[in-house]
Amino acid sequence: MHSPTADYFTTAFADSMAGMALVGLDGRWLEVNPALCRILGYRREALLACSFRDLTHADDLPADLQLLDRLLAGEISTYNLEKRYWHADGRVVWGLLTVSLVRDAVGAAECLIAQVVDITPQKTAADDQHAFFTQSADLLAIARTDGYLARVNPAWTDALGWNEDDLTSRPFIEFVHPDDQAATRAEADKIYRGGVTRGFRNRYRRVDGSYRWLEWSTHATAGGMLYCSVRDI
């Protein structure tokens, strides 16, 4: 008897914007949809002739196989993983992979359903932001409202001599010149209340005990983090 459910699945499989595949327990693709072919750059026939292992970046394969073993052992019912695939043109494609197990009528493992969402643009943007943060000549920092710096870029070490662990493990006010601490606390309170700082100046202690004048531009986000661009003046 014909099953309407089967028709719905077939239509969803074919029309999905996400890459989808039925995968054998041996890792070979049994069926792939057009979106997966587009994401990976291969024709359907080429994908069906190989295994997901063949196109997975070697650094990401162990984590994938470990999760797959747990899925087949019944320890988990599904898993998600950000992983890299090799595109047909040789470049790396980042995918958000979701895998679940299909069992037959008696509960035996039959095949896998895999869904792949292309997250390459997001990963590229994150890499660009990281490069901007780490390579900037300005002192860049992300601070919390508890009075600690959460993250600083290497320019802080160049200017002050402290490493990132030094600067993030103690309240930032401890590095401020005693004569500037009251003004700094007042400025911080203003930012915590949603204000914006432009051109605030104070003296920060170097690792050798001397002080450097810094000029701060800071704003707070709705999530409670403070983004700081600081110049050594």
Q: What is the mean pLDDT of residues 164-171?
A: 91
- Place 131 in a pLDDT band, splitting at 50, 70 and 90: confident
- Phi-psi category of residue 227: left, alpha or beta, with phi > 0 → left and psi -120 to 50 → alpha: beta
- Tens digit of each residue's pLDDT (9 = 90 or more) over 24-60: 999 999 999 999 999 999 999 999 999 999 999 999 9
Mean pLDDT (the chain, rounded): 87
Q: Which residue has the tokens 């080429």?
A: 46
